[in-house]
Structure 1
């Protein structure tokens, strides 16, 4: 098996690989895979099928997940459709796929059993979650989107899948104060690269999940001196960390220093991070 296949992005194991890799790798068997959909608010994705294994990332409600193997213990191994991340999730968090029409634009929003905010909600979904709208209703002057699964959401919290925000950095700024959570990808807790991924998606940018992946292929690599005249939206990378420029003197990042999504002065952050955390900046990239 080629060492060039990153296990986070390629469904390849010594005993099993996706059918698309047949002839490219050696594996005990190859599987076509079947498409499923996340039916929990979010679903932890792990490297190994064990509850005590650390979480790599999270799948959001409505995202697709291609399953290549399921175990009797209730685990499914596969690949997330939104960013290609590979790993194990709980099988009971997956259901039959329904074609999405909208995604959640609010930081988070409730799903109700009917079109009435006075009903006890059935779940709380975060920005970037995808839903299938099949109808609409109005209750006491508030418009609701009726979903294919029989639930309802406040309509103004949703946008069509092709909606593009004019300033995705402003979306990232809406997360200020959100707790830092390693591998988290929701508005209840997320890490540095998830903040960038989720917010940039609203601006039409599909970025990979982890900071090293984003550093390797997001936008255009800027040359030396980029931080002398940075622009809003420039991504600043360290080994294992990413932040976004909000103005020439400020960054925004989900970080373990404040344990929140927070602003930090650029010069102060460069000094602090360089001395105590991730070392020197490794790259600055600009999205189109």
Structure 2
């Protein structure tokens, strides 16, 4: 199959609609490590329905539907798809329950060349059923097997890719070490991403991995948790967060997340698996609001 450019930019994603409640929020939190210490009150409020808080990165799975990747009109090799980057802007705290709708589109598809792959730039708006904007995300998927279709190279398309944030040349201000439960991929997939490489050993081997890999967005959620630790676990303070995925994480890995605090309530972060001497997240950034700065609630 071959990507048809520029036709792919007109691909009509079905409008995403989803009703969710406390159990969905808790399941997501468990798939991103919030249950690691059930005696920690800061973590408990993300996994216990009493005074439940919703992780901001839960927005990354709202309206999630991976069926688009196998639509033959896109011409994609689904076994070669990997999550490249995620960028999330939070406009309002996510409610514990409600109905959302989302609008997704391809903003650009970059051609890296034959045998080098393609970058699919996807933008999504997430709104309440009444139309209030909750969050916006930009997702970049790396299609490893689909380059050479005649599309624009990065820097020449309809959108400009953000430069990777550079980490300060000093020791991190904080390091958060999180153990990834071996069952984490099995738990996280129940939040919407049912692609087989995260659960089926044979599918993972065919994709070039020795075992099923953790979802990149689960790793993203672990990093969001680390950023929240620098904000007193106050979810309302997170305004935006983004990162690039550079290597897979597996269930059972130990994840070390380094955080640097900058002026203007900005935090930079990277994540690695020390046991494999592998950096898995690069260019991570987050912006925090002042405490209790949000005055309106989503409806």
TM over 0.5: same fold? Answer: no
Provide the TM-score with structure 2 as the length reference: 0.26
Structure (1/2) with the larger strand percentage: 1
Greater RCO (Cα-Cα under 8 Å, separation 6 or more): 2
